[in-house]
Amino acid sequence: MSGALVAGLVAGYGIAIPVGAVGTYLMALTARTSLRTGAAAALGVATADGLYALISTLGGAVLVPVIQPITEPLRWTSAAVLTALALRGAVKAVRDHRRPQEASTRELTGPGRAYVALLGITLVNPMTLIYFTALVLGGPTATGGPVFVLAAFAASASWQLLLAGGGALLGRALSGPRGRLATALVSSAVIVGLAVGLVA
Protein backbone atom coordinates (compact mmCIF):
# COMPACT_ATOMS: atom_id res chain seq x y z
CA MET A 1 0.00 0.00 0.00
CA SER A 2 2.71 2.52 0.98
CA GLY A 3 4.70 1.49 -2.09
CA ALA A 4 1.74 2.30 -4.34
CA LEU A 5 1.20 5.62 -2.52
CA VAL A 6 4.81 6.70 -3.00
CA ALA A 7 4.82 5.45 -6.60
CA GLY A 8 1.63 7.41 -7.32
CA LEU A 9 2.99 10.61 -5.80
CA VAL A 10 6.25 10.29 -7.69
CA ALA A 11 4.40 9.53 -10.93
CA GLY A 12 2.00 12.44 -10.49
CA TYR A 13 4.75 14.94 -9.78
CA GLY A 14 6.94 13.41 -12.47
CA ILE A 15 4.40 14.05 -15.21
CA ALA A 16 3.21 17.41 -13.81
CA ILE A 17 6.34 19.29 -12.77
CA PRO A 18 7.97 19.80 -16.19
CA VAL A 19 6.14 22.98 -17.22
CA GLY A 20 5.29 22.63 -20.88
CA ALA A 21 2.74 24.28 -23.13
CA VAL A 22 -0.25 23.22 -21.00
CA GLY A 23 1.30 24.54 -17.78
CA THR A 24 2.23 27.81 -19.47
CA TYR A 25 -1.29 28.18 -20.83
CA LEU A 26 -2.74 27.42 -17.40
CA MET A 27 -0.68 30.21 -15.80
CA ALA A 28 -1.52 32.69 -18.57
CA LEU A 29 -5.22 31.84 -18.40
CA THR A 30 -5.28 32.39 -14.64
CA ALA A 31 -3.39 35.68 -14.98
CA ARG A 32 -6.00 36.93 -17.49
CA THR A 33 -9.09 35.66 -15.68
CA SER A 34 -9.25 34.66 -12.02
CA LEU A 35 -7.88 32.18 -9.53
CA ARG A 36 -11.25 30.41 -9.51
CA THR A 37 -11.10 29.83 -13.28
CA GLY A 38 -7.44 28.83 -13.07
CA ALA A 39 -8.09 26.38 -10.25
CA ALA A 40 -10.85 24.71 -12.28
CA ALA A 41 -8.51 24.49 -15.28
CA ALA A 42 -5.79 23.04 -13.03
CA LEU A 43 -8.18 20.34 -11.84
CA GLY A 44 -8.99 19.58 -15.48
CA VAL A 45 -5.32 18.83 -16.13
CA ALA A 46 -5.07 16.75 -12.95
CA THR A 47 -8.23 14.83 -13.87
CA ALA A 48 -6.68 13.84 -17.19
CA ASP A 49 -3.55 12.66 -15.39
CA GLY A 50 -5.70 10.70 -12.94
CA LEU A 51 -7.72 9.12 -15.76
CA TYR A 52 -4.57 8.04 -17.55
CA ALA A 53 -3.20 6.63 -14.29
CA LEU A 54 -6.46 4.69 -13.87
CA ILE A 55 -6.42 3.43 -17.47
CA SER A 56 -2.82 2.35 -17.15
CA THR A 57 -3.47 0.36 -13.96
CA LEU A 58 -6.55 -1.31 -15.47
CA GLY A 59 -5.02 -2.31 -18.77
CA GLY A 60 -2.29 0.00 -19.95
CA ALA A 61 -0.13 -2.81 -21.27
CA VAL A 62 -2.93 -3.78 -23.64
CA LEU A 63 -3.68 -0.20 -24.69
CA VAL A 64 -0.15 0.96 -25.49
CA PRO A 65 0.04 -1.04 -28.77
CA VAL A 66 -3.36 0.40 -29.72
CA ILE A 67 -2.33 3.98 -28.89
CA GLN A 68 1.15 3.74 -30.47
CA PRO A 69 0.00 4.03 -34.14
CA ILE A 70 -2.04 7.18 -33.42
CA THR A 71 0.57 8.86 -31.23
CA GLU A 72 1.76 11.10 -34.05
CA PRO A 73 -1.73 12.39 -35.06
CA LEU A 74 -2.57 13.01 -31.40
CA ARG A 75 0.68 14.93 -30.95
CA TRP A 76 -0.17 17.11 -33.97
CA THR A 77 -3.70 17.63 -32.65
CA SER A 78 -2.35 18.72 -29.29
CA ALA A 79 0.09 21.13 -30.94
CA ALA A 80 -2.66 22.58 -33.16
CA VAL A 81 -5.08 23.11 -30.26
CA LEU A 82 -2.41 24.78 -28.10
CA THR A 83 -1.30 27.00 -30.98
CA ALA A 84 -4.89 28.03 -31.69
CA LEU A 85 -5.45 28.90 -28.02
CA ALA A 86 -2.19 30.88 -27.91
CA LEU A 87 -3.06 32.85 -31.05
CA ARG A 88 -6.58 33.49 -29.78
CA GLY A 89 -5.16 34.79 -26.51
CA ALA A 90 -2.71 37.09 -28.31
CA VAL A 91 -5.36 38.50 -30.65
CA LYS A 92 -7.74 39.10 -27.74
CA ALA A 93 -5.01 40.79 -25.69
CA VAL A 94 -4.12 43.19 -28.54
CA ARG A 95 -7.81 43.95 -29.23
CA ASP A 96 -8.55 44.58 -25.55
CA HIS A 97 -5.45 46.78 -25.22
CA ARG A 98 -6.50 48.92 -28.18
CA ARG A 99 -10.13 49.21 -27.07
CA PRO A 100 -10.19 48.76 -23.28
CA GLN A 101 -13.75 50.04 -23.04
CA GLU A 102 -14.87 47.10 -25.21
CA ALA A 103 -12.66 44.54 -23.50
CA SER A 104 -14.44 41.24 -23.15
CA THR A 105 -14.01 39.10 -20.10
CA ARG A 106 -15.16 36.02 -21.99
CA GLU A 107 -12.08 33.82 -22.24
CA LEU A 108 -12.92 30.37 -20.98
CA THR A 109 -14.84 32.28 -18.36
CA GLY A 110 -16.54 30.11 -15.88
CA PRO A 111 -14.77 27.31 -14.10
CA GLY A 112 -16.77 24.70 -16.04
CA ARG A 113 -15.51 25.79 -19.47
CA ALA A 114 -11.94 26.10 -18.20
CA TYR A 115 -12.09 22.63 -16.61
CA VAL A 116 -13.40 20.96 -19.79
CA ALA A 117 -10.96 22.82 -22.07
CA LEU A 118 -7.85 21.87 -20.08
CA LEU A 119 -9.10 18.32 -19.54
CA GLY A 120 -9.49 17.96 -23.32
CA ILE A 121 -6.09 19.48 -24.12
CA THR A 122 -4.37 17.15 -21.66
CA LEU A 123 -6.25 14.05 -22.82
CA VAL A 124 -4.97 14.40 -26.39
CA ASN A 125 -1.43 13.84 -25.11
CA PRO A 126 -0.85 10.10 -25.57
CA MET A 127 2.57 10.30 -23.95
CA THR A 128 0.88 10.61 -20.56
CA LEU A 129 -0.74 7.19 -20.94
CA ILE A 130 2.52 5.66 -22.12
CA TYR A 131 4.35 7.28 -19.19
CA PHE A 132 1.92 5.91 -16.59
CA THR A 133 1.88 2.47 -18.21
CA ALA A 134 5.66 2.25 -18.06
CA LEU A 135 5.51 3.10 -14.37
CA VAL A 136 2.76 0.57 -13.66
CA LEU A 137 4.64 -2.22 -15.44
CA GLY A 138 7.81 -1.45 -13.53
CA GLY A 139 6.48 -0.47 -10.13
CA PRO A 140 4.58 -1.71 -7.06
CA THR A 141 1.09 -0.75 -8.22
CA ALA A 142 -0.49 -4.10 -9.03
CA THR A 143 -1.92 -4.55 -5.54
CA GLY A 144 -2.48 -0.87 -4.82
CA GLY A 145 -4.09 0.38 -8.02
CA PRO A 146 -6.66 2.74 -6.42
CA VAL A 147 -4.03 4.17 -4.05
CA PHE A 148 -1.64 4.71 -6.97
CA VAL A 149 -4.34 6.49 -9.02
CA LEU A 150 -5.48 8.75 -6.16
CA ALA A 151 -1.90 9.62 -5.22
CA ALA A 152 -1.05 10.45 -8.84
CA PHE A 153 -4.15 12.65 -9.11
CA ALA A 154 -3.39 14.42 -5.81
CA ALA A 155 0.21 15.08 -6.79
CA SER A 156 -0.76 16.43 -10.20
CA ALA A 157 -3.59 18.54 -8.73
CA SER A 158 -1.33 20.11 -6.09
CA TRP A 159 1.24 21.10 -8.72
CA GLN A 160 -1.31 22.42 -11.22
CA LEU A 161 -3.00 24.46 -8.46
CA LEU A 162 0.41 25.89 -7.57
CA LEU A 163 0.85 26.96 -11.20
CA ALA A 164 -2.61 28.54 -11.17
CA GLY A 165 -1.71 30.41 -7.99
CA GLY A 166 1.47 31.66 -9.67
CA GLY A 167 -0.59 32.83 -12.62
CA ALA A 168 -2.98 34.70 -10.30
CA LEU A 169 -0.07 36.45 -8.58
CA LEU A 170 1.43 37.33 -11.95
CA GLY A 171 -1.89 38.73 -13.13
CA ARG A 172 -2.19 40.84 -9.98
CA ALA A 173 1.38 42.14 -10.26
CA LEU A 174 0.94 43.05 -13.92
CA SER A 175 -2.64 44.22 -13.78
CA GLY A 176 -2.09 47.40 -15.81
CA PRO A 177 -3.00 47.46 -19.51
CA ARG A 178 0.62 47.23 -20.69
CA GLY A 179 1.50 44.50 -18.22
CA ARG A 180 -1.47 42.39 -19.25
CA LEU A 181 -0.66 42.86 -22.94
CA ALA A 182 3.00 41.97 -22.41
CA THR A 183 2.27 38.83 -20.40
CA ALA A 184 -0.37 37.69 -22.90
CA LEU A 185 1.97 38.11 -25.87
CA VAL A 186 4.96 36.51 -24.13
CA SER A 187 2.93 33.55 -22.88
CA SER A 188 1.37 33.08 -26.35
CA ALA A 189 4.83 33.06 -27.94
CA VAL A 190 6.10 30.53 -25.38
CA ILE A 191 3.06 28.28 -25.87
CA VAL A 192 3.47 28.33 -29.66
CA GLY A 193 7.17 27.49 -29.27
CA LEU A 194 6.43 24.59 -26.94
CA ALA A 195 3.60 23.36 -29.18
CA VAL A 196 5.96 23.34 -32.17
CA GLY A 197 8.42 21.42 -30.00
CA LEU A 198 5.82 18.66 -29.58
CA VAL A 199 5.99 17.84 -33.28
CA ALA A 200 9.53 18.89 -34.14
The pLDDT tens digits for 152-166 are 899 999 999 999 998
Give the pLDDT score at 102: 53
Quick check: pTM over 0.85? Answer: no
| Spacing of C-alpha 189 from chain mean position | 17
Residue 175 CB neighbours (<10 A): 11
pLDDT, tens only, 119-152: 988 888 767 777 776 666 655 544 567 888 899 8
Residue 39 near residue 164, CB atoms below 8 Å: yes
For CA atoms 143, 157, 114, 111, the dihedral sign is positive
pLDDT, tens only, 50-98: 988 888 788 766 766 776 777 778 778 777 877 887 787 788 778 877 8
Give the pLDDT score at 36: 93
DSSP secondary structure string for all residues of 45-72: HHHHHHHHHHHHHHHHHHHHHHHGGGHH
% residues pLDDT > 70 (the chain): 80
Helix axes 111-123, 71-98, angle to 10 degrees: 150
| Distance between CA atoms of residues 27 and 118, nearest Å | 12
| Distance between CA atoms of residues 85 and 189, nearest Å | 11
